[in-house]
Amino acid sequence: MSAAQDPGTPPRPHAMLIAQITDPHIGLQPGPATGPLDPTGSLRRALAHVRALQPAVDVLLLTGDLADSGRPQDYAEIATLLADTLPTPADGGPRVLAVPGNHDRRAPARQALAAAMPVAPDAPGDCVCLHVEHGGLHLIGLDTVVPGAAHGALAAEQLAWLQRHLTACAGAPVLIFMHHPPLISGMAAMDACGLLQGRAELGRIVAAHGGVQAIAAGHLHRAIVGQLGGAPVVVAPSSSHQLTLDLRPDAPLALRFEPPMIGLYRWTAADGIACHFSYVEAFGPSHPI
């Protein structure tokens, strides 16, 4: 149950930077109501944004809904975009780690994105549970997928897996990443297909560990911050399209083409974590003040 070790990544003298791209929905076809949808171009631009960041990003997390309908060719396209856009870790590029979302299918995702899904040997069933130690930070990926359903769940076996791995971390700092966020957003239609099982127990496990720096998630296609078990829960917007912010209980689900963002986490052992959102769009030059 120990973490997979990345060779050559001892604790960093500099701050560690972790980017998060979520919900690219590759393969989603624009319909008459979906406007200027371009999932592939949007992911390419988000990856180019990650590549251009200075200081360079150490880790890139992909937090699900990678493909819209789980087709093998969509995962192959993502693998090609990653290979074409980012340097390999050996050439100074980020370590890429990915977990699935409700729109994904595990088998084709794992086949095309094997390097980004180093499933732990003791992961329950076919869950994509990941545990990689990188630069002094434990990165733990949870698989919230319920095959065939839009909502997410953490069943007892997965919570037990997490408990074992957090115990093995012995209080060391951890970043958890998953698709369905463990929070209630107030976006009623999305809460109805949120993490419907395991949230309270996850909170107890996180609180007992005490070293969870943040829980990074997606699924809601908006920038949202909450907390669970004393750790911040950070939801990053989609690289493609966002959902309309409407907190009325009967609000219909609707999408909007608000500007895509990535999540960007700065972490050091001394400073802890700071969670940023970075627009993919450039918005012109910076003006010195």
42 binds Fe ion (CB under 5 A): no
Distances (CA, A) of 51 to 61, 75, 87, 177: 13, 20, 8, 21
23 binds Fe ion (CB under 5 A): yes
The site map against Fe ion for 160-199 (x = CB under 5 A) is ----------------------------------------
Smallest gap from residue 138 Cβ to Fe ion (A): 25
Q: 286 Cβ partners below 8 Å, 6+ apart?
A: none
Q: 283 in helix, strand or coil?
A: coil
Nearest-angstrom CA–CA distance, 130 and 138: 10
Smallest gap from residue 221 Cβ to Fe ion (A): 6
Q: Which of 29, 40, 38 is nearest to 75 (CA)?
A: 40
The site map against Fe ion for 97-136 (x = CB under 5 A) is ----xx----------------------------------
The one segment of 17-25, 44-52, 252-260, 275-283 that binds Fe ion by CB under 5 A: 17-25
What torsion, rounded to 10 degrees, do the Cα atoms 105, 241, 142, 272 define? Answer: 160
The site map against Fe ion for 58-77 (x = CB under 5 A) is -------x------------
Task: Please identify which residue in 219, 220, 263, 280 interacts with Fe ion, judged by CB under 5 A.
Answer: 219
Nearest-angstrom CA–CA distance, 289 and 286: 9
222 binds Fe ion (CB under 5 A): no
CA atoms within 13 A on the CB side of 8: 6
Smallest gap from residue 70 Cβ to Fe ion (A): 12
- Residue ranges binding Fe ion (CB under 5 A): 23, 65, 101-102, 219
